[in-house]
């Protein structure tokens, strides 16, 4: 995949996935405004962990594990992929049923700080949402079939349907079912997503099923390490929610809202970069020079797009949270709490993003276990850091330790990648890195100057600040001729003509 082809794929994917991510944050905003920081929202976000978050991880892991296999499909027996898909669906269905029957035990572990009605609500919601594991997992399998044909648009559109379902559940079912209406909306939306992908999948994949034991073992041996490696970011947040359960009512919800704001730009950018990157890196794994060049461009794009986002998150957290969530149900105390958590999380935005890109590179080289081991190590480090810091720093230690651990994770993955593939970081820094770094420093300098002149907490001044710092970033990148900005402008100009 050429430089322009990768960049074009990233831009198109980002544009088409933007709808889904906007719907995702809209769902979070509506939850906050309608249900507030309450026992119901705490219960929902703990119950959501296994079916929705883990189901999503299964979908991502299966998609990632199947892409290299589908690239080598000509060496497979006809019908082998159909047989494999049926076997995966059966196992996902069994896992959903087990989750349903074990809901009480699961909630007692994940929500160990819950008592009384909050515990009961969480257990009921988990029983309802357990089917999401099967629905989302199979959607991940079908998505891999689309990606193998370089068809990215329909999966991006279909991925927005669970969020549309959730929004519909809040708007139309909440008066009848309360917080359960949100759960059933997610279930219906995920079901429609699976049906849509099934209707438009390439029929050449769907032949009379043949079950190959060797292929099944290969998929599971590949997907388990991938599952653990790609789940690290989500596991950070799952553990954070669990650590927040002993705190007063509403803290779990506040951590959820902050983490969703934190991961939204990263998911929007990094998901599309890695989706376009993985098939290309698999094809180039025997060509070290081209592999390294392509990976370097992906890292450069990640830094170029996320550095301004990180600075805005750090300097504009309270106005952002107040704008999105403040309502009668979500008061100023909840606004301040969520914004403080967001600032503590923001130290790890770049680390989370680089971790995903570097994990994709190692997976494409067949080194799935390295991201898994590094990720589990950083996860353990995060938990130990929480245990040490919470007595002295309270709830902020939960978010801060996650940010630190994610930076450590990315650093360790980069060192591991050097063992298998040369990556000229000095050249990357000379071509692009120093330019975006200088632009970021200009943003910080303007914030330090601007905040001493006028308050930026609310109103027109707040929006003027955001637009100005982003404009400063773009202007400095233009002055120093950032290659990413130049290519982005070229694509926009060509589309305009």
Task: Tell me what pLDDT residue 230 has.
Answer: 63
* pLDDT, position 14: 61
Q: Half-sphere exposure (CA, 13 Å, Cβ side) for 33?
A: 16
Q: Is it the case that residue 487 has pLDDT exceeding 70?
A: yes
Confidence of residue 181 (pLDDT cuts 50, 70, 90): very high
97 — pLDDT class (breaks 50, 70, 90): very high
Q: Which residue has the higher pLDDT, 125 or 72?
A: 125
Whole-number mean pLDDT of the chain?
Answer: 83
- Show the tokens assigned to 212: 């190959």
- Which of 5, 260, 54, 285 shows the shortest CA–CA distance to 152? 5
Give 484's pLDDT tier (boundaries 50, 70, 90): confident
Whether 483 shows a pLDDT value over 90: the answer reads no
pLDDT at 192: 96
What residues have CB less than 8 Å from 493, skipping those under 6 apart?
A: none
- Half-sphere CA count of 102, side-chain side, radius 13 A: 12
Q: How far apart (Å, rounded) are the C-alpha atoms in residues 486 and 364? A: 29
CB contact set of 261 (below 8 Å; sequence gap of 6+): 25, 28, 313, 320, 321, 324, 342
As a whole number of angstroms, the distance between CA 144 and CA 205 comes to: 11
333-355, pLDDT tens digit by residue? 999 999 999 999 988 888 888 98
pLDDT of res. 206: 66
* Lowest mean pLDDT, pick from 12-21, 48-57, 265-274, 407-416: 12-21
pLDDT band with cut points at 50, 70 and 90 for residue 77: low
In the chain, the percentage of residues whose pLDDT exceeds 70 is 83
Up-side HSE of residue 67: CA atoms within 13 Å toward CB?
Answer: 30
Asked whether residue 470 carries a pLDDT value surpassing 60, the answer given is yes
Q: Looking at the predicted structure, is the pLDDT value of residue 180 above 60?
A: yes
CA pair distance 333, 345, nearest whole angstrom: 19
How many Cα atoms occupy the beta-carbon half-sphere of 118 within 13 Å?
Answer: 23
pLDDT of residue 183: 94
Cα distance between residue 319 and residue 85, in whole Å: 47
Tell whether the model's pLDDT for residue 213 goes beyond 80. no
Higher pLDDT, 287 or 494: 287
By the 10 Å C-beta count (0-12 exposed, 13-18 middle, 19+ buried), 55 is classed as: buried
Per-residue pLDDT, 91: 86
pLDDT at 270 over 90: no
Residue 105 contacts by C-beta under 8 Å, 6 or more apart in sequence? none
Residue 239 has pLDDT above 60, yes or no: yes
Q: How far is CA 171 from the centre of its chain?
A: 25
Instruction: Tell whether the model's pLDDT for residue 255 goes beyond 60.
Output: yes
Q: What pLDDT is recorded for position 363?
A: 81
Burial grade of 314 (CB within 10 A; 0-12, 13-18, 19 or more): middle
Q: How confident is the model at residue 494 (pLDDT cuts 50, 70, 90)?
A: low
Query: Looking at residue 390, what is its pLDDT?
Result: 94
* Residue 170 CA: distances (Å) to CA of 166, 177, 479: 6, 9, 47
Q: What pLDDT, in 10s, does the model give residues 221-237?
A: 766 666 666 667 778 87
- Given a cut of 80, whether residue 466 has pLDDT beyond it is yes
Q: Which of 39-53, 62-76, 79-93, 478-492 has the highest mean pLDDT?
A: 39-53
Cα–Cα distances in Å, from 341 out to 199, 252, 253?
Answer: 42, 11, 11
In this predicted structure, what is the pLDDT of residue 322?
A: 87
């Amino acid at each position: 995949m050429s430089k322009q082809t990768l960049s074009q794929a990233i831009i198109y994917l980002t544009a088409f996935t933007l709808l889904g991510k906007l719907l995702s944050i809209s769902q979070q905003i509506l939850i906050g405004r309608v249900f507030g920081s309450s026992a119901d929202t705490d219960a929902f976000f703990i119950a959501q962990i296994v079916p929705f978050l883990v189901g999503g991880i299964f979908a991502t892991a299966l998609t990632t594990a199947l892409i290299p296999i589908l690239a080598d499909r000509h060496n497979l027996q006809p019908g082998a992929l159909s047989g494999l898909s049926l076997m995966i669906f059966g196992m996902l269905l069994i896992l959903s049923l087990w989750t349903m029957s074990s809901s009480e035990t699961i909630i007692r572990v994940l929500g160990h700080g819950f008592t009384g009605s909050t515990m009961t609500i969480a257990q009921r919601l988990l029983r309802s949402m357990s089917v999401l594991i099967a629905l989302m997992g199979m959607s991940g399998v079908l998505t891999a079939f689309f990606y193998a044909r370089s068809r990215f648009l329909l999966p991006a559109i279909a991925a927005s349907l669970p969020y549309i379902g959730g929004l519909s559940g809040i708007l139309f079912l909440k008066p009848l079912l309360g917080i359960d209406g949100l759960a059933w909306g997610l279930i219906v939306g995920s079901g429609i997503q699976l049906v849509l992908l099934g209707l438009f999948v390439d029929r050449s994949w769907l032949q009379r099923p043949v079950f190959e034991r060797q292929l099944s073992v290969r998929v599971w041996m590949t997907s388990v390490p991938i599952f653990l490696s790609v789940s690290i970011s989500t596991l950070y947040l799952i553990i954070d929610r669990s650590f927040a359960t002993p705190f007063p009512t509403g803290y779990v919800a506040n951590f959820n809202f902050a983490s969703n704001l934190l991961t939204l730009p990263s998911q929007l950018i990094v998901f599309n970069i890695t989706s376009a990157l993985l098939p290309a890196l698999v094809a180039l794994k025997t060509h070290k020079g081209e592999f390294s060049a392509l990976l370097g461009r992906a890292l450069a794009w990640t830094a170029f797009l996320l550095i301004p986002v990180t600075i805005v998150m750090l300097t504009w957290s309270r106005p952002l949270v107040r704008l999105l969530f403040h309502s009668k149900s979500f008061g100023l105390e909840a606004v301040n709490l969520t914004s403080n958590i967001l600032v503590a999380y923001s130290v790890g935005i770049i680390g989370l993003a680089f971790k995903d890109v570097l994990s994709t590179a190692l997976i494409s080289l067949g080194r799935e276990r390295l991201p898994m081991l590094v990720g589990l190590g950083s996860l353990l480090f995060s938990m130990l850091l929480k245990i040490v810091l919470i007595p002295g720093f309270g709830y902020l230690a939960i978010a801060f330790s996650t940010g630190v651990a994610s930076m450590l994770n990315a650093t360790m993955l980069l060192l591991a990648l050097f063992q298998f593939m040369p990556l000229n970081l000095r050249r990357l820094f000379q071509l692009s890195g120093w330019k975006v770094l200088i632009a970021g420093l200009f943003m910080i300098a303007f914030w330090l100057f601007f905040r001493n002149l006028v308050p930026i907490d609310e109103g027109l001044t707040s929006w003027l600040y955001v637009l100005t710092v982003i404009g400063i970033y773009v202007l400095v990148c233009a002055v120093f001729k950032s290659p990413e900005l130049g290519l982005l402008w070229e694509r926009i100009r060509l589309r305009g003509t």
